[in-house]
């Protein structure tokens, strides 16, 4: 893989790296353990233009390609994985609006999303519909020049502090196949019938709210139907989630990198039996496997990102990157605790946070079991007899 970053890309990544080192790392542990929303850091993300990272320049964004954005996500997650969650669902929504919205919708929403004035999220999953998106029950019924939405959405990142969402709902409950009856809408807080009912407590991924949203006869102007056409919501979201899977895989690379860098540093300082533990063969084995999987994970992410940048579907490559990188992250964050010994089990070191954050990425944007099905389906197409 011939990946040569130009000067602009290098400057962007270095700027994010310095921001993470100087402003994120010193406060990440305190905010995470307090489960406190990082208002000041989010404002800095706005100032740096990262809410518009992948939004085209013509709409006020930075217009970053997926390769550069993936490397930016890695840098952020090296410091604190939760912080990237503020951007990920926001930019998936922006991608869908850009790829499928009417020109009027693009002009209305994307510039405000680029500045962070409109902070987006995805209202897709429901209590009984996660990986099986077609099983959603939320409905949007046409009522003159508006739609009335009823239903419950679950696991919504940015649900409390966000203000604009991409909502998936059924406009034709009897459609066959099921996905043909699903439509996508742009919805805003403000009208009656839209309630953030509760925050969901989590093992990790703390500091960023994950909420349940309830819609009761919530009115959406007909102009909020993405693309102005019913029945295309499933297609739009599946395309958007390709970028989400690349993002989640890049997050895993960032957390795995943090675990590796902390571990190899600690292994050279901690001494047992008269020498640094880095000189013990078993510790060397752990470090070598960790570094190898880190490198392989990053290359898989970049490969998927490059294909997306070429305008090609990357279900296979994105699924592989997400599966491998998140499994490697889950495996090696536990190994990082073992390398740190008893200290690794305490909150004095960050490796316990990496370990708690890792499982999110094995289930987020489609569980790893679903990724295996996606990979297999695409392999059978690619190698069909």
Contacts of 289 (CB under 8 A, 6+ apart): 332, 335
CA–CA distance, 281 with 188 (Å, rounded to integer): 57
3-state class (DSSP) for residue 74: helix
Mean residue pLDDT across the chain: 96
Quote the CA–CA distance of 262 and 72 in Å, as a whole number: 20
Among 58, 312, 365, 369, the active-site one is: 365
Q: What pLDDT is stored for residue 1 in this prediction? A: 60
User: Which CATH number does 120-234 carry?
Assistant: 2.40.110.10
Domain boundaries, the chain: 7-115, 120-234, 240-382
Judged by DSSP in three states, 367 sits in coil
Q: What is the pLDDT of residues 98-140, one digit of tens each?
A: 999 999 999 999 999 999 999 999 999 999 987 788 899 999 9
CATH number of 240-382: 1.20.140.10
Shared fold status for 120-234 and 240-382: no
Residues of the chain above pLDDT 90, percent: 94
Q: Is residue 365 flagged as an active site residue?
A: yes
Residues 99, 157: Cα–Cα separation, whole Å: 22
- The CATH topology of domain 7-115 is Butyryl-Coa Dehydrogenase, subunit A; domain 1 (1.10.540)
The values of phi and psi at residue 230, to 5°, are -80, 160
Spatial CB neighbours of 161, under 8 Å, sequence gap ≥ 6: 37, 42, 119, 209
Cα gap 267→140, rounded to integer Å: 57
Q: Which two tokens stand for residue 156?
A: 């919504």
Per-residue pLDDT, averaged over 198-206, amounts to: 95
What is the per-residue pLDDT for 2?
Answer: 65
In this model, does residue 3 exceed pLDDT 90? no
Query: Percentage of the chain surpassing pLDDT 70?
Result: 99
Given a contact cutoff of 8 angstroms between Cβ atoms, the answer to whether 21 and 13 are in contact is no
- How far is Cα 126 from Cα 213, in angstroms, rounded to an integer? 9
For the segment 244-303, what is each residue's pLDDT rounded down to a tens digit?
999 999 999 999 999 999 999 999 999 999 999 999 999 999 999 999 999 999 999 999
Phi then psi for residue 315, to 5 deg, are: -55, -50
Q: Which of 170, 181, 163 is nearest to 136 (CA)?
A: 170
State pLDDT tens for residues 318-357. Answer: 999 999 999 999 999 999 999 999 999 999 999 999 999 9
- 52 DSSP 8-state letter: G
């Amino acid at each position: 893989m011939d990946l040569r970053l130009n000067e602009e890309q290098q400057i962007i990544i270095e700027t994010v790296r310095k921001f993470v080192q100087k402003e994120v790392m010193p406060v990440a542990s305190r905010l995470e353990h307090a489960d406190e929303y990082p208002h000041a850091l989010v404002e800095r993300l706005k100032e740096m233009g990262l809410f518009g990272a992948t939004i085209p320049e013509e709409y006020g964004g930075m217009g970053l390609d997926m390769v550069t954005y993936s490397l930016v996500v890695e840098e952020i997650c090296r410091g604190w994985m939760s912080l990237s969650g503020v951007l990920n669902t926001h930019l998936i929504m922006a991608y869908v609006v850009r790829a499928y919205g009417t020109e009027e919708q693009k002009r209305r929403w994307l510039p405000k999303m680029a500045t962070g004035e409109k902070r987006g999220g995805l209202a897709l999953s429901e209590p009984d519909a996660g990986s099986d998106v077609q099983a959603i029950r939320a409905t949007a019924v046409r009522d003159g020049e508006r739609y009335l939405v009823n239903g419950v959405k679950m696991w919504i990142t940015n649900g409390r502090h966000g203000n604009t969402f991409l909502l998936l709902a059924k406009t034709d409950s009897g459609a066959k196949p099921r996905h043909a009856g699903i439509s996508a809408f742009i919805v805003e807080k403000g009208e009656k019938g839209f309630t953030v009912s509760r925050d969901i407590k989590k093992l990790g991924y703390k500091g960023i709210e994950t909420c349940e949203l309830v819609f009761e006869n919530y009115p959406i102007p007909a102009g909020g139907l993405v693309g102005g056409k019913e029945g295309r919501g499933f297609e739009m979201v599946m395309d958007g989630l390709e970028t989400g899977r690349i993002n989640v895989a890049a997050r895993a690379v960032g957390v795995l990198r943090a675990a590796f860098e902390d571990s190899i540093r600690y292994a050279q300082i901690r001494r047992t039996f008269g020498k640094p533990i880095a000189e013990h063969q078993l510790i060397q084995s752990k470090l070598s496997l960790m570094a190898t999987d880190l490198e392989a994970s990053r290359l898989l992410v970049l490969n998927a990102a490059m294909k997306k940048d070429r305008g090609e579907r990357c279900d296979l490559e994105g699924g592989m990157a997400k599966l491998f990188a998140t499994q490697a992250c889950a495996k090696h964050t536990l190994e990082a605790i073992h390398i740190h010994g008893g200290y690794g089990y305490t909150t004095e070191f960050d490796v316990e946070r990496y370990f708690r954050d890792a499982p999110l990425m094995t289930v987020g944007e489609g569980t790893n079991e679903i990724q295996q099905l996606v990979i297999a389906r695409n392999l059978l197409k690619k190698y069909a007899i």
